[in-house]
Structure 1
Amino acid sequence: MIIPINLNSSSSSAQKLPPYLAKISHDEVVLIELQGELELQDPTQRNGRLVGTLKIDDDLKKPTLRIGPHLVEGKLVNLPKPLAVLNRSSPLQSITTSQRPPHDGPGSSEDDMDVDDQSGGANRHTEDLDDSVLGLDHESGKEISWDAIAIVKRKIVFSKRPIPMVGKVA
Structure 2
Amino acid sequence: MTIIVKLVDEGAEAWGIVELQGDLESREGGTLQSKFVGDLHYTVQGGIPTLIIGHHILYGKSVSMEKPFAVLEKQHYCTEQGVKQTKYVAKAFVKKKLIFKVRPKPIIANVSQ
| Superposition TM-score, scaled by structure 1 size | 0.52
Count, aligned residues: 102
**Deviation (angstroms), 1:27:** 1.0
Q: Confirm whether residue 159 of structure 1 aligns to residue 101 of structure 2.
A: yes
Task: Select the structure that is richer in strand.
Answer: 2
Q: Confirm whether residue 90 of structure 1 aligns to residue 32 of structure 2.
A: no
Contact 2:76 2:84 in 1 (8 A): no
Contact 2:72 2:92 in 1 (8 A): yes
Counterparts in 2 of 1:166 and 1:67: CA distance versus 1, 3 Å: same
**Deviation (angstroms), 1:25:** 4.8
Aligned mates of 1:89, 1:145 — CA distance in 2:
5
Match in the other structure for 2:37: 51
Amino acid at match of 1:80: E
Counterparts in 2 of 1:59 and 1:23: CA distance versus 1, 3 Å: farther
Match in the other structure for 1:136: none
Gaps of 5+ in 1: 1-16, 93-139
Report the 3-state secondary structure (helix = DSSP H, G, I; strand = E; otherwise coil) of the residue aligned with 1:89. strand
Match in the other structure for 1:79: 65
**Deviation (angstroms), 1:144:** 1.0
Amino acid at match of 1:163: K
| Superposition TM-score, scaled by structure 2 size | 0.75
Q: Name which structure has the greater RCO, CA cutoff 8 Å, separation 6+.
A: 1
Match in the other structure for 1:99: none
Match in the other structure for 1:38: 24
Percent pairwise identity:
35
Match in the other structure for 1:150: 92
**Deviation (angstroms), 1:35:** 1.3
Deviation string for 1:89-147 (max 9, x for gaps)?
1239xxxxxxxxxxxxxxxxxxxxxxxxxxxxxxxxxxxxxxxxxxxxxxx75331111
Alignment root-mean-square deviation, CA: 2.5
Gaps of 5+ in 2: 1-5
